[in-house]
Structure 1
């Protein structure tokens, strides 16, 4: 399953893959787009999240927060 979330001019692309447990998922995200994409360089690859698997709702939430935090680190605080 796939979802794209827009945040501060970037797209956070979230991908869920079924885990071995019923109704749980492993989740990864990738940051794409935005005017500052060159800042990401080779590090702009897909990032798997630890401490899973997660339920579907938690997987999307955790990936969105992780992606937003990564963008905030790159761009600095919102003013």
Structure 2
């Protein structure tokens, strides 16, 4: 199952895979108007550690990980 959300001009693709009843492993991938060499979070699938998660948590932690990756590279809008 996959979900895509937009954040700061980038798309965060979240993909979950069932590993047990009601538990999932999760990956995220950031795609957007540019790719930066050496930045694994952009354009490559990255597994989120700490799982497996329930479906709701899987989507949440992966989206937050994708947002954090974008914020680390470009800085937070809250600064």
Q: Same fold (TM over 0.5)?
A: yes
Bucket of the pairwise TM-score, normalised by the shorter protein: 0.7 to 0.9
Deviation at 1:38, TM superposition (A): 2.6
Unmatched segments (≥5 aa) in structure 1: none
Q: TM-score, normalised by structure 2?
A: 0.87
4+ residue runs over 3 A deviation = none
Unmatched segments (≥5 aa) in structure 2: none
Q: CA RMSD in A?
A: 1.5
**What is the number of equivalent residue pairs in this alignment?**
76
Whose helix fraction is larger, Structure 1's or Structure 2's?
1
What's the counterpart of residue 36 of structure 2?
39
Q: TM-score, normalised by structure 1?
A: 0.87
